Every structure is written in C-alpha cells, then in structure tokens.
Chain A
Amino acid sequence: MSQHGILKNVVGKKLIMGLTGIFLVSFLVVHLGINLCALVPDNGETFNSAAEFMADNFFIRTAEWGLFLGFILHIVDAAVLTLGNRKSRPIAYAKVDGAANSSWYSRSMGILGTLLLIFLILHLGHFWVKSRFTGIENPFTQKDDLYFYMMYTFQDLWVVIIYILAQISLGYHLLHGFKSAFRTLGLNHPKYNPLISIIGIVYSILVPTLFAIIPVVLHLRYNHYITF
C-alpha cells in the first residue's frame, strides 16, 4: 500500500483538488444564499438575522473549520502540484501556441487561484476578522450591523471594482474547475457530460454575477443612506 498510497502521486493529489473544489463550490451556494438576503430592501433586517443565525449556530461554526480546512487543502495541494509540474518540465519551450489546443483559463488556474487567494485575504480582512474580532457596530444605532458594515466597506468604488474583478476571476476559475473536478473524480459519462457541462457553465456565470451585484447595490445604497 505504501508504494501507491493515494496521496503519494499526482492522481491522488488531484483527487484532493477535485474533492475540495466541489466542496468549495457547494460552500459558495450557501454563501451566496446569505449574501442575496442583503438585496432585500429592508435595511438589512433579513440579512442580519441570517448572519446572526450563521454566527451563533454550533454546526455552522464547526463547519467553518471544515471550510478553512477545505480552502487550505485546496491551496496547499495546488501549490504542491504546481511545484511538481514545474519540475516535470525544467526547460520551457521557446514558443508555445497554447490557444491552439486549450482555453486560456484552463491553463491559468494557478494565476486565477492566486488572484482569488489575494482576494480571499482581503475579503476575510473586510468581514470575517471584523465580525469576529474587531466588531461590526453600526455607529448610528450602536448595534451589531453587518449589513451596515458591508455598505460601509463598499462605499469606496475601488473596493467594488476589486470585488467585481475577483468575481470575474472566480467565474473563469469555476468555468474550468467545475467540469475538471468531475473528470478528476472520474464522474464522466457520455450521457451526462453535456448536463455537467451546462450546469458548470450556468453556475460559473450565475454565481459570480450574483456575488458581483451585491457590492454594486450596496455601494449605491450607502451613498443613498448617508445622503438621506
């Protein structure tokens, strides 16, 4: 067994990538669900109660550790694989016509992923660190108000633009990652491949687009809020 322990080779390592990838994809749905509550025009009431539920729920808090683990595994595994891949071709080609045989984003998962990692750190700094440690009190109401805090964060246009760019990166990352994960997990059948492909495309466009709408809306609402 030691000779072919599942993690001792690229196939096993890719399996981890695929599994964590699918896990993170499912996390995005939950995340998006909560976020979409912020679009309800009730001054954040729905959103804040959803956020509180998430923050206080024991299972969710436990799952959060799982989520962190998922991210870390996905990222570390990717780094290990990428380093290994570099070793597999120590001398690069002088001329590569990659566009002739594959999509640019399928070849750029590492770069897209790195962008997403940078975004993730920024994003955690924006919300997670503050909601957990430094506080998210609404200065007007003196109550914890994540909704307000989001509007507050997105008041700067550059933050909104970064979030939108991050969502574009996410879209392309998913566009390849979604179907790639299925292949890596061996879930491939001529009858269902078109379905997986369509779900993947719809997901990769829809989810990041909806994510991207939120900062835009909140940016506009904040401007409205303070002028009001």
Chain B
Amino acid sequence: MSEKTLNLTLKIWRQKNKETRGSFETYPISGISTDMSFLEMVDVLNEKLITDGKEPVAFDHDCREGICGMCSMYINGRPHGPKHGVTTCQLHMRSFKEGETIVIEPWRASAFPVLKDLVVDRSSFDRIMAAGGFISVNTGNAQDANSLPIGKDDADESFSSAACIGCGACVAACKNASAMLFVAAKVSQYALLPQGQPERSTRVLKMVAQMEQEGFGSCTNTGACEAECPKGISLSNIARLNREYISASASSK
C-alpha cells in the first residue's frame, strides 16, 4: 500500500469504425496513482479527452473484476499487459514504471475485426459455441443431480477448463491467431464429464469446423496462449482436443 503517482506516455490505436483505417495517437498523461487499475487510468485519459472536446477512447469492459471477459487490450506487446494471470481490468498501475511509454492495441485477428478503437467483435466465439459447445438437454429432463456421481479429480479438471472467460487473449497472444485454447477448453470441460459423452464426437468435429470457418490460425504449440491466459487454462487442453478430434474423425460416419 505505497501509493505513488506516475507520468506516462500512451500510444493508443484509434480507428473510427470497421471500414476505416486506424492509426496510433500519442497522449501524455500525468498524476496516475499506482493504485489505479489500468482501465481506471484510461478513464482518466477519457475524462481529459472529453474536457478537451475530443472523442474518448472506445474500449470494451464491463465487470471490472476479471470474470466477464469483456476487456481486451494488447498492452506493450502482450494481451492484458505485463502481469501474469490477470485481465486488463485487474492490472494495476503499480505494474508500470515512471516515464514509461505504453503501447495499447486492439486484439488483432481476422476473426476479431476492430469495430472502433480498441473494441473488437468476438462473435466468432459465440458461433463456435453455437456449433457445438453445449450438452443437448432440454429444461425439465434432468435426473437428480446426485444420481450421477463424478470423481472429484475429473470434476476439478473439468472446472479448470470451464474457467475460461472467453476474452480472446489466447487468440491475441498466438502468433497464428489460433483459437485452439478457447475451443479446447470447452471440448475438455464436456469430454471430462459423463454428461458430455453422448455428443462427445460430434461436438469436437462441429466446433473445429466452425473454428476453421471463422478463419482462426493453426496451433503451433508455442504455449503463448497458456502463458497469457488470465485464467490459467492449460495447454494440455489442446492436446486433449487433438486427441478428441483424431478419435472422432476416425470413428465418424
């Protein structure tokens, strides 16, 4: 709890809309408390821009407690910035040095087109989910929850995969803009649970097909996704996805 203030230079990507081309703008900013979150720092900048009669920087954010997955800034060459295991909203200014220049870019991927400034369209993730990221059970059909015991280890592992917040940092971090970690996490969550078995094969085939259609790149196992994932989703999920895919392809009709 040693609050200090910082003077910084921000280099931020500005882009009017999907159709126009963007460019970087540079903004000096001073008196930033080290206790502020990164987004609160951008709030301060925006307040200043509004006062000066300029357009504030558009960026996605909502819960500001690291769980909704909406915030998405590529800060100094890394998704969600320099700190390991946090989203941008949980990144605090104490992670930066006095006088630093901070480069802020939107997620870059053809499947995540920029809508404005730092706001990108991640509906490709929703479409992958719609293709197969579910268990087909209509409301009202469920049996008693405890009639289906699930070993703690499997349940815990499934939960670790399910912890994905769908922020897209994995895609942003990957040099190939691959969405494998996102897809793998969902495939793993269900592959590890007995409820997920009936659709195990079709799910992985459909989700991978949709991932392909959205134009995400391939996985070269660099591990950048795992390292940058704010929720620590493991790369072993990708290996499981590959395994699931191979066996599903081999047995599909």
Contacts and interface: CB of A to CB of B under 8 A. Distances in A.
A and B touch in the complex (CB under 8 A): yes
A227 interface: no
A10 B217 contact: yes
Contacts of B76: 95, 97
B249 interface: yes
Contact of B176 (A89, A91, A183): A89
A89 B105 contact: no
B82 interface: yes
B224 interface: yes
Interface residue tally on B, bucketed by range? 35 or more
A163 B237 CA distance: 38
6 contacts: A8-B212, A10-B217, A88-B216, A89-B109, A96-B77, A109-B220
A4 B208 contact: yes
Contacts of A1: 252-253
A184 B242 contact: yes
Contacts of A66: none
A10 B183 CA distance: 13
A94 B236 CA distance: 30
Given A11-B242, A88-B178, A106-B221, A190 B212 contact: no
A90 B110 contact: yes
Contact of A102 (B11, B13, B223): B223
Contact of A94 (B103, B209, B218): B103
A176 interface: yes
Contact of A185 (B77, B205, B223, B242): B242
Contacts of B110: 87-90
Contacts of B105: 93-95
Contacts of A12: 245, 249
Contacts of A92: 108
Interface of A: 1, 3-4, 6, 8-15, 81, 84-85, 87-98, 100-103, 106-107, 109, 176, 179-180, 182-188, 190, 193
* A interface secondary structure, majority: helix
A110 B208 CA distance: 24
Interface string B210-253: 01100111111111100110000001101111111110010011
B222 A103 contact: yes
Nearest to B244: A186
A81 B54 CA distance: 43
B212 A91 contact: no
Nearest to A109: B220
B13, B110, B176, B177 pick with most chain A CB within 10 angstroms? B176
Contact of A184 (B221, B223, B252): B221
Interface string B122-138: 00000000000000000
